[in-house]
A and B are shown apart, each in its own frame.
Chain A
Amino acid sequence: MKKETLRADKVTDETLIAQFQQGDVQAFDVLVRRYKDQLLNYVYRFVNNRVDAEDIVQETFLRVFKNKHYYKEIAKFSTWVYTIAGNLAKTELRRRKRRKIFSVSNFVNDERDFDIPDGERTPDQAVDGSIKDSIIQQAIDKLPPKFKEVILLRDVQGFAYEEISQILNIPLGTVKSRVNRGRLKLQEDLKFLFENDNHSKG
């Protein structure tokens, strides 16, 4: 009864979603396997909360499942699934912002406290090209969503500008200028990491 289909890694996402549209749930499973971790990383950096991120990725796949016929082959599957995940992540941020207004004291970040201890304000962390994850994350958190999304897609997920433009449905030129402004803002926020460095090097 059970058909065991082995799928080569060579099968494209677009073929898989087409198979799923015809009712093959195993094709859906392969897509989940391909995208679950990278989507988790995208969403996690977006909302900075592990539980929420995983929930959003689940919701993303649920929507892919329920709305598979929305997908048309004119776009890549990755474009589609990232659009859905990004929208859900942005919605989560708006929801939190609202909740924060209503009950400031109840807003508890379940991650570590991201205040930077004095001991970490040393120059070396910037010099060798590795700034601590928590410090980077804190700066990402401070970016307005429209900069955050392009920076995450470009610098964390490594998408080409062209696909980012499709995922966010904004012009290519806008993507480029937002990436630039986002990066400028990040270096402004993290300037303090480099300041001692300049002095010590003279």
Chain B
Amino acid sequence: MRHCNNYEELFSSYIDGELALSAQKDLEAHLDGCPGCRETVGRMQTIRQSMTNLSALTVSADFDHKLHQRISQANSTGSSGSLFPDFFSGWKMPAVGFAAVLALVSFFTLIDLNPDSVNISDTDKPILSAPAIQEDAVTETPNQLYAMPQNEATAAEQDSTNERIKEELKKNLDIVNDGQR
């Protein structure tokens, strides 16, 4: 006879219907004679169902607008990705500085002549560690918006860095806005 503890590790697979038939029969036999485990499984099923039914949110109306702004902003202070002259043509630019945008486009056209110098990609590192790699790259990149630390050690200093970066950002935004007038 197996003990409750041994059955416990099968509960999730049982709920997901992923147990082999023999294991399922075995577990069901135990559940029949064990009210404790039966109730636990019941609660797990109910909670799982409620998780699935959690109300869904949608992003706020200005999400796209803000994102485009943020991308333009990030790119205006340097570049870690390759940009193309037609970069902005596909997007309806917001009221935020069309003139500034034109200036930026010509700027990008210039730096784009040598895309390899700004590209940090094309390593053989596995894709799934990309965000981690990026953290390293990011700390050397001045245009990082909200540098997010990946470990506790650097976290404290990162906070003050974030504040500084936000300051920078605000200044840069002012410059873009000024250029518009």
* Interface, chain A (partner B; CB < 8 A): 1-3, 23-26, 29, 32, 36-37, 40-41, 44-45, 50, 53-55, 57-59, 61-63, 65-72, 74-75, 79-80, 83-84, 87-88, 91-92, 94-95, 98-99, 126, 129-131, 133, 136-137, 139, 151, 155-156, 158, 166-167, 169, 176-177, 179-180, 183-184, 186-187, 190-191, 194, 198
* Interface, chain B (partner A; CB < 8 A): 8-13, 15, 39-40, 42-44, 46-60, 63-64, 66-67, 70-71, 74, 80-82, 84, 86-91, 119-122, 127-134, 145-146, 148-150, 152, 155-156, 159
Q: Are A95 and B57 in contact (CB under 8 A)?
A: no
- B169–chain A nearest beta-carbon distance, Å: 12
Q: How far is the CA of A41 from the CA of B131 in the complex (A)?
A: 20
Q: Which of A25, A53, A70, A137 contacts B127 (CB 8 A)?
A: A70
Q: Which residues of B contact A130 (CB under 8 A)?
A: 49-50, 53
Q: Are B12 and A67 in contact (CB under 8 A)?
A: no
Q: Which of B11, B51, B60, B134 contacts A156 (CB 8 A)?
A: B51
Q: How far is the CA of A179 from the CA of B53 in the complex (A)?
A: 18
Q: Which residues of A contact B146 (CB under 8 A)?
A: 55, 59
Closest B residue to A22 by beta carbon equals B84
Q: Are A54 and B127 in contact (CB under 8 A)?
A: no
Q: Are B59 and A36 in contact (CB under 8 A)?
A: yes
Q: Are B54 and A169 in contact (CB under 8 A)?
A: no
Q: Which of A3, A41, A75, A131 contacts B47 (CB 8 A)?
A: A131
Q: Which residues of B contact A70 (CB under 8 A)?
A: 121, 127, 130, 133-134
Q: Are A176 and B51 in contact (CB under 8 A)?
A: no
Q: Are B90 and A3 in contact (CB under 8 A)?
A: yes
Q: Which residues of A contact B48 (CB under 8 A)?
A: 155, 183
Q: Which residues of A contact B81 (CB under 8 A)?
A: 65-69
Q: How far is the CA of A94 from the CA of B54 in the complex (A)?
A: 25
Q: Which residues of B contact A58 (CB under 8 A)?
A: 63, 66-67, 70
- B159–chain A nearest beta-carbon distance, Å: 7
Q: Which of A69, A133, A166 contacts B122 (CB 8 A)?
A: A69
Q: Are B11 and A71 in contact (CB under 8 A)?
A: no
Q: Known contacts A40-B59, A74-B127; is A98 also within 8 Å of B13 by CB? A: no
Q: Are B12 and A183 in contact (CB under 8 A)?
A: yes
Q: How far is the CA of A139 from the CA of B119 in the complex (A)?
A: 43
Q: Which residues of B contact A59 (CB under 8 A)?
A: 145-146, 148
Q: How far is the CA of A1 from the CA of B13 in the complex (A)?
A: 56
Q: Are B155 and A37 in contact (CB under 8 A)?
A: no
- B92–chain A nearest beta-carbon distance, Å: 9
Q: Which residues of A contact B10 (CB under 8 A)?
A: 180
Q: Which residues of A contact B159 (CB under 8 A)?
A: 95, 98-99
